Structure 1
Amino acid sequence: MNNASDRRDSVEAPITEVCVVSGKERCPQGFKLLGETEDGKDGDLWTDKFFGKKVTRYICFNRAYANVGGNVLADVALLGERDIVPTGYSQITATADTGEVALKKRILCIKMLPRNMTDSAICDIKLLAKTKRPPPGFTFVGEVNSISVSYKMGPVQRTPGPGRPAPGPPQMSRQQSQPLTEQPVPASPSYAPDVQRQYHTLPADIHRQRADVIPLTRQMSTVKIATAVDGIPFEINKKLGADSIKDFSLPEMQYQTEQEIENKYKYDFTAERTAAARIPPNF
């Protein structure tokens, strides 16, 4: 870094991109490679060899500090292969350079948020091999290939939103800008409320000029709309009248023992068992 401002940006700027590559030399331009742990071990996250060929995986991240309108890294998670990815998270399943599987038996998930929707974001990621305790100010994420991953949160510089123009004078519609004496009175009943509302807001002298509106709106407000049930009489069924139930009496309930009820309503399914016995077993 050339100056204190660059050093401050490189440490405090939120991370905006994360990827996994298959080799140290394949780190994208502008990204920071986590090629080694903080205690001097190789930062390879692959767990073993594959068909005798050494397979390596390394995490890279980028801080696009000038891109103040983009997304920032809000969270990182390491899940098992059968774990459910939380809502709002995306998986890094393939390497950015070769498209191969990113991690073995583990899934790296990240959560991105628009810069203006969060006050803090992840600004640094560290790897540790000898000690599993994260550095001061860092949060432990998980462990891959005996390497622990942790991150540090930092403040997010908000982007000023676009200013809203000052409200101007209310614009008059074409109907309002024309003289009221030149406006035709609507003839359709669907416009009656608008005509009525306009009439009540006119000055007194205009009321006199537009007196012809009154009988029109009153006439339209009293129009009866025919319905499908018009002319159908509604009355109570004579069977439900008082004369039909005046001699009604509640029947006397006869007490029965449990055995009496069993004897009266017992059903042994003899017919069904007999019919089933006549069906061949292989039918």
Structure 2
Amino acid sequence: AAGPVVTDVLVLSERSPQPPGYSRAPEFPESRSGAVSRRKRLWVRREAAAAAAVLELRLGPKGGRALPGLSRAGEIGGFAIWFRKGPVGPGPAPALSAGLERLSLRPPRDTWGYLWALFPFPKSLFFPLPAMDGIPFALHPKFEPRLSSPILAELTVKSLADIEREYSYGFLVERTAAARLPP
């Protein structure tokens, strides 16, 4: 497979210890009740690569009959959790050009010098790009109904240039103090 896969699913009591190799599935409280079932937890086992993985999860009635082709993981909040395992197909073949990029007769270029040439930032900056660039952001579903509030309509988004213009500080005091210090 191309990435990590879920190889097993368990439902255990809240007081049961964490099974080795398993991690707890994230829980979100239901918006109407505001609570999560505190008695049972869903545990999943993820592996980097496996021949078989969990392909399907289904919720069924607690006292219902067995679903064909599915294994029962347990019960949570009045529902039975069923899953189906199956073989994992091979991952995509690596592109030939990806390996060829690393083969070069030239020495590797200095990445930082290259970045400084592309983006002429002041040398006082530690890193040329903000830390949160390119990181996706999403609100939890619990807070989505509040998006239409008039408070959010009043918020203005400022660019880095706007912030620097608004809070420009010349460091004049610091520079003059540093110039007076004996060597």
TM-score by length of 1: 0.29
Structure ranking higher on relative contact order (CA contacts 8 Å, 6+ apart): 2
Flag the structure with larger Rg: 1
TM-score (norm 2): 0.43
